[in-house]
């Protein structure tokens, strides 16, 4: 699976385009639709996955849906279980804390996880926005610690990391 990061908007949100065999899934199309669309050329877009519904993660959703006639998947219509879209197989993990609708996507075969604003390199998402909860964040951190350490984490902002690095260095994960 090819993973391409497209940094969008003034908050520098990470949109990800996952591609297998000229078919793509878009994760969190935050802004700069023209840039996202350019990266999607020559692929069939299968759908949009949202990690949560904050404005900086959904700004280009309507444009993507309109141009490609695809569905949007989020905590509103996904259960915490495994899904398969064509050759993309992933598990939805509810990870509330940053927001009540925060979810992460775990692609076990590729050992990658897209965490939105739940987990960052060296930090976690803020919990003081509407529907945020520090108590829920702590529960989500306990849940994520049970996953294999060799997973690469692709967050909603900033650089990628590994779960091992976060377990060893992220004060919120190793002290929780």
Measured between alpha carbons, how far is 103 from 140 in angstroms, rounded to an integer?
10
Q: What is the DSSP letter of 151?
A: P
Please tell me the predicted confidence (pLDDT) of residue 173.
84
Average pLDDT on 129-145 reads 96
Average pLDDT on 32-46 reads 95
Average pLDDT on 49-55 reads 97
Average pLDDT on 115-144 reads 96
Measured between alpha carbons, how far is 50 from 72 in angstroms, rounded to an integer?
7
Please tell me the predicted confidence (pLDDT) of residue 100.
97
Residue 47 pLDDT grade (very low, low, confident, very high; cuts 50, 70, 90): very high
Domain 2-174 architecture? 4-Layer Sandwich (3.60)
Look at residue 53 and tell me whether its pLDDT is greater than 70. yes
Please tell me the predicted confidence (pLDDT) of residue 75.
96
Measured between alpha carbons, how far is 81 from 112 in angstroms, rounded to an integer?
16
- Structure-token pair, residue 72: 């949007």
Q: Is 68 left (phi over 0), alpha (psi -120 to 50) or beta?
A: alpha
Look at residue 174 and tell me whether its pLDDT is greater than 80. no
Between 173 and 110, the higher pLDDT residue: 110
Question: What are the pLDDT digits (tens) for 86-105?
Answer: 999 999 999 999 999 999 99
Q: What is the mean pLDDT of the chain?
A: 96
Read off φ and ψ for residue 62, nearest 5 degrees: -60, -35
Measured between alpha carbons, how far is 86 from 25 in angstroms, rounded to an integer?
10
Look at residue 161 and tell me whether its pLDDT is greater than 70. yes
CB 172 within 8 A of CB 144: no
Please tell me the predicted confidence (pLDDT) of residue 175.
56
Look at residue 176 and tell me whether its pLDDT is greater than 90. no
Please tell me the predicted confidence (pLDDT) of residue 16.
98
Look at residue 132 and tell me whether its pLDDT is greater than 70. yes
Look at residue 6 and tell me whether its pLDDT is greater than 90. yes
Distance separating the N- and C-terminal Cα atoms of the chain: 32
């Amino acid at each position: 699976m090819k993973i391409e990061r497209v940094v969008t908007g003034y908050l520098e949100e990470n949109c990800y385009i996952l591609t297998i065999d000229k078919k793509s899934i878009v994760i969190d199309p935050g802004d700069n639709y023209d840039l996202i669309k350019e990266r999607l050329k020559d692929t069939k877009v299968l759908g949009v996955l949202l990690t949560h519904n904050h404005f900086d993660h959904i700004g280009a959703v309507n444009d993507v849906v309109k141009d490609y006639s695809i569905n949007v998947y989020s905590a509103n219509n996904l259960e915490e279980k495994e899904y398969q879209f064509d050759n993309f197989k992933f598990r939805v993990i509810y990870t509330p804390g940053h927001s009540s609708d925060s979810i992460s996507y775990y692609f076990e075969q590729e050992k990658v996880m897209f965490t939105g604003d739940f987990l960052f390199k060296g930090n976690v998402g803020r919990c003081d926005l509407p529907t945020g909860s520090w108590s829920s964040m702590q529960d989500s951190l306990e849940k994520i610690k049970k996953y294999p350490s060799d997973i690469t984490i692709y967050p909603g902002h900033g650089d990628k990391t590994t779960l091992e690095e976060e377990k060893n260095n992220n004060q919120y994960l190793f002290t929780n």
